[in-house]
C-alpha cells in the first residue's frame, strides 16, 4: 500500500469515520501496542500509523506492515490489558476498497 493510497483512503472515509489529528493518532498507536499480546495476530506488525476512527464505536483503522506487506487493519480497542489473544478484535485488509466496503457495512 503506498502513501498515496493512504491519502486516498483518508479523503474518502465512509460515513461514521473521521480523520485523526497527530496527537490522537499517536495516542491510538500507543493504545494498540498496550493491548496486543505477544500471541495476538497483530503482534508482529511494524511501522504502525493510526489513520481514522469510528464515530460510533472504539474501532480504529491503522496502516501497518505485516510480513513485509503494507496492510490496513481495523481494530476494536478494549482499553484494557492483554488477557486473551483473540482481543482486541481485528481484521486485516490488503486493499483500501475492501476496508471501505466493510466499514460502510458496519454502520
Give pLDDT tens digits for 58-77: 999 999 999 999 899 999 99
Identify the pLDDT of residue 1: 47
Distance CA 32, CA 75 (A): 8
Q: In what order do the strands lie in the sheet with 17-19?
A: 17-19, 46-54, 59-66, 69-76, 89-93
Identify the pLDDT of residue 104: 83
Among residues 44, 103, 104, the alpha carbon closest in space to that of 75 is found at 103
Q: Cite the beta strand spans of the chain per DSSP E.
A: 17-19, 46-54, 59-66, 69-76, 89-93
Distance CA 22, CA 24 (A): 6
Identify the pLDDT of residue 107: 63
Identify the pLDDT of residue 37: 93
Q: What is the pLDDT of residues 25-51, one digit of tens each?
A: 999 999 999 999 999 999 999 999 999
Q: What is the pLDDT of residues 73-95, one digit of tens each?
A: 999 999 988 888 899 999 999 88
- Pull the grid cell for residue 100: 471501505
Amino acid at each position: 500500500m503506498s502513501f498515496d493510497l493512504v491519502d486516498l483512503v483518508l479523503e474518502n472515509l465512509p460515513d461514521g469515520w473521521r480523520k485523526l489529528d497527530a496527537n490522537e493518532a499517536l495516542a491510538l498507536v500507543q493504545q494498540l501496542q498496550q493491548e496486543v499480546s505477544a500471541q495476538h495476530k497483530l503482534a508482529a506488525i511494524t511501522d504502525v500509523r493510526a489513520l481514522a476512527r469510528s464515530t460510533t464505536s472504539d474501532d480504529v483503522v491503522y496502516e501497518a506492515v505485516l510480513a513485509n506487506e503494507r496492510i490496513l487493519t481495523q481494530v476494536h480497542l478494549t482499553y484494557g490489558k492483554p488477557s486473551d489473544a483473540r482481543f482486541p478484535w481485528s481484521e486485516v485488509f490488503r486493499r483500501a476498497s475492501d476496508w471501505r466496503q466493510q466499514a460502510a457495512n458496519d454502520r
